[in-house]
Chains A and B, each alone.
Chain A
Amino acid sequence: MTVASIPKTQLLNIENLAVEFRTRSGIVKALDQVSFSVAAGETVGLVGESGSGKSVLSLAILGILDAAAQITAGTIAFEGDNLLTMPRSQLRAKRGTGIAMIFQNPRVALNPIRRIGQQLRDVLIAHGGLTKAQCQTRALELLTQVRIPDPHQRINAYPYELSGGMCQRVMIALALAGRPKVLIADEPTTGLDVTTQAAVMELIRDLGREGQMGTILITHDLDLAAQYCDRILVMHAGHIVETAPTRLILTQPRHPYTAKLLAATPDPHKRLDELTPIAGHLPDLRGTLPPCRFQSRCDRAIPDCDRAPLKRQAIAPDHTVACWHPLPLSSGVES
């Protein structure tokens, strides 16, 4: 199936995606009405608390969701082709070469008993078309590309012999092996030091620019997303509640959740008493849910909030919000 209306530069286009998990205690509506697109060379930040559906979304894009999950609505189009209706063999070919992923914890994601060179060669062989000698050259090239010092020696190292930052670079090299057009980075710097975090994020950004890749950065750290992303999508309980260019999200958040997330994020100019936790918990995603899933935690809730359907509306150019009672324009960042 071809989706005709997508402009050529949009690499990935997700439309109205819904994912449900069947569990013993009922159906969990993990994602609902998720729509967004990623263009070539663009870095999009996907921000939200844990449990908001960020990782489920990335797994859905790659088609590697758990067996209990079911995509109940929507399309995921990569370069115009719907990945959801594509035969499995074709989808498999897209993974790694079309869309690749950097997994959360490099120490867990790497095979502990295989040298990193072997793991790189595995991936290169799976993508096909290279001889053994070519694989070796390409593996070295990749390690150089992710700025691993002394690649000739490190190619024979086991993951435990490398530091966390180096392991993450190897993960990035594995993701880049198929020369993907879209790179999904799921919390790529969790557990890394701030200095290493900066190095890894700069590497991802530079590689994205060099290769004109579309990058999706998944994180719960708004500050980090703000530094490296062109655009930010804010997720809450399976909904994308706000999307805007980074600067707008930071200075003019319109969804109450975005404002609260900003208020809870430490930044170098904030004191502890200026750090406001978000009240309440993510709602239980089983059973019937109100149109706005933030309603129970929101201090701006009005009777209108029960009105369905709640869709994300453009309230300014490039700025969409799913809220019946958005923050006024002038309010800025809540402190």
Chain B
Amino acid sequence: MISLDPPPLLSVDHLRKYFPTARRSFLNRDAAPRLLHAVDDVSFTLEAGESVGLVGESGCGKSTLVRLLTRLLDPTSGEIRFEGREIGAIAAPKFARHPLRSQLQLVFQDPHDSLNPRHTAFDSIAAPLKQLGGFQASPLLTARIEELAELVGLPAALLSRFPHQLSGGQKARVGIARAIALHPKLLILDEPTSALDVSVQAVILHLLQDLQARLGMSYLFVSHDLNVVRLLCDRIIVMYLGQIIEMGPTDAIFDNPRHPYTQALIAAIPDPGTPPQPLQLQGEPRSPIDPDPQVCRLYGRCPHGVEACTTTTPHLEPMGPDHVAACHRADVLNPAQLR
């Protein structure tokens, strides 16, 4: 029987991206190259209108996943479906001109580095409209850009300015304006506020919330800061060394984190009401190069590691409604001890 439900906006199935690390040895030409498992068997879905947070420390594969989803990189294996259509197989260079490209837009991490220093704010916002929207230089284009500027709260007088003449918050607005210029259905936000001050961050978070209500976009909000992600997202995905280790509704993740890594992330959020929590993770992450498939990737850093963690990799198991976590000891760990 065919389901009548529309397919999810984005569905990712067993997505993998391995990078070869070095050339094969001169003496041992037959040896397989060592592979860095940047994204390793990642599956999730994102519904229309939903905001999902993607959290993890640097080096966990967040950015690689974003680059795979926006089709800037080709996956090693796995599927990426956008509204049911497979886009993972379209070669990255071809996707730049693909009609679906306009549906899936990215707001880059650093609003300063991601704007062309020789382009005015107007030029930056015009680029996607000309490239993918079929606009020509015309009063129509000017009108659309002014409309977008108003939508993101950028005074029209600033449109003729170059990036160095704009403040951090204004540059962030330009970055958002050009990303929403083509009415995308999915907006991927890569650490949109990490370069901003707290007060400007609050402004931009409010703007993003307002835009979502008005334009009905879905957000994939990538950040290492759970505290910021929590404010905008319905659901949170936690990644560690290329794998999803926990995924669930925001409240469940915060009130009842089941994976030790998620628990450590939450404990690390500075909370002025409580004294600093003792740090729960020890040492450095394991190497992502050819990781042992039988060992839990947090093993060694995890305060709760046991024998079983070194013999079988845990898989995502249901922990509650819509809530999954990959830990052998999730049943034993009591998150109530955390806060």
Q: A268 interface residue, CB < 8 Å from B?
A: yes
Cross-chain contact B57 with A266 (CB below 8 angstroms): no
Report B210-237 CB contacts with A as 1/0, cut-off 8 Å.
Answer: 0000000000000011111011100000
A226-240 interface bits toward B, Cβ cutoff 8 Å, 1 = contact, 0 = none: 111000000000000
Q: Which residues of B contact A268 (CB under 8 A)?
A: 227, 230, 254, 266, 269, 271
Cβ–Cβ contact A195 & B202, under 8 A: no
Complex contact A264–B199 (CB within 8 A)? yes
Contact with A along B60-74 (1 / 0, CB 8 A): 000000000000000
In the complex, the chain B residue whose C-beta lies closest to that of A333 is B272
Could you mark each residue 149-181 of chain A with 1 if its beta carbon is under 8 Å from any beta carbon of chain B, else 0? 100000000000001101000000000000000
Cα separation A264 to B279 with both chains bound (whole Å):
26
**Interface: A275 (CB within 8 A):** yes
Nearest to B227 among chain A residues (CB) is: A266
> Please, which residues of chain B bring their CB within 8 A of the CB of A50?
168, 197
* Interface contact A195-B271, CB-CB below 8 Å: no
- Closest-by-CB residue of B relative to A226 is B272
Cα-based distance from A191 to B271 in the complex (angstroms): 19
A224 within 8 Å of B by Cβ?
yes
| Cα(A271)–Cα(B231), bound, Å | 6
A222, chain B: closest CB distance, angstroms: 7
Contact B231 A275 (CB under 8 A): yes
* A284: interface (CB < 8 Å): no
Task: Give the number of residue pairs across the A-B interface with Cβ within 8 Å.
Answer: 108
Residues of A near B59 (CB, < 8 A) are 163
What A residues does B93 contact at CB under 8 A? Answer: none
A8 contacts B by Cβ under 8 Å:
no
A267 to B274 alpha-carbon distance, docked (Å): 11
Nearest CB in chain B to that of A148: its residue: B284
A264: B residues at CB distance < 8 A? 198-199, 201-202
Chain A residue, CB-CB nearest to B232: A272
A275 touches B57 (CB 8 A): no
Contact B209–A220 (Cβ < 8 Å): no
Contact of B194 among A163, A191, A267 (CB under 8 A): A191
Tell me, yes or no, whether B151 is within 8 Å of chain A by CB: no
The yes or no answer to B293 lying at the interface (CB within 8 A) is no
A residues near B199, Cβ cutoff 8 Å: 49, 260-261, 264, 277-278
Contact across chains for B198 and A227 when beta carbons are under 8 A apart: no
Interface assignment of B316: CB less than 8 Å from any CB of chain A: no
Q: A163-B59, A221-B270, A266-B231 are in contact. Are A194 and B198 (CB under 8 A)?
A: no
- CB distance A228 to B276 under 8 Å? yes
A191 to B226, CA, bound (A): 14
Bound form: Cα–Cα A198–B266 in Å: 11
When chains A and B are docked, how far (Å) is the Cα of A265 from the Cα of B272?
11
Q: Contacts of B272 on A, CB cut-off 8 Å?
A: 222-223, 226-227, 246, 250, 267
Q: Is the CB of B265 within 8 A of A220?
A: no
- Docked complex Cα distance between A201 and B276 (Å): 10
Q: Which of B261-284 contact A (CB under 8 A)?
A: 264-273, 275-277, 279, 281, 283-284
Q: Does A193 contact B (CB under 8 A)?
A: yes
Q: Is the CB of B202 within 8 A of A223?
A: no
Is B91 interfacial (CB 8 A cutoff)? Answer: no
Q: Is A306 an interface residue (CB 8 A)?
A: no
Nearest to A166 among chain B residues (CB) is B284
Tell whether A122 is near chain B: CB-to-CB under 8 Å.
no
A307 at the A/B interface (Cβ < 8 Å)?
A: no
When each residue 237-276 of chain B gets 1 if its CB lies under 8 Å from chain A and 0 otherwise, what string results?
0000000000000000010000000001111111111011
Contact A194 B265 (CB under 8 A): yes
Cβ of B205 < 8 Å from any Cβ of A?
A: yes
28 A–B pairs (Cβ distance < 8 Å), ordered by A: A50-B168, A50-B197, A163-B59, A193-B224, A194-B226, A195-B265, A196-B57, A198-B267, A198-B268, A198-B270, A198-B279, A220-B198, A221-B270, A222-B272, A223-B270, A223-B271, A227-B270, A227-B272, A227-B275, A260-B199, A266-B201, A267-B271, A267-B272, A267-B273, A268-B227, A268-B266, A270-B231, A277-B199
Given contacts A202-B276, A221-B198, 12 further A-B contacts (CB under 8 A): A149-B283, A195-B279, A196-B57, A198-B276, A223-B271, A228-B276, A266-B227, A267-B272, A268-B271, A269-B273, A277-B199, A278-B202
Report B's interface with A, CB cutoff 8 A. Answer: 57-59, 167-168, 194, 197-203, 205-206, 209, 224-228, 230-232, 254, 264-273, 275-277, 279, 281, 283-284
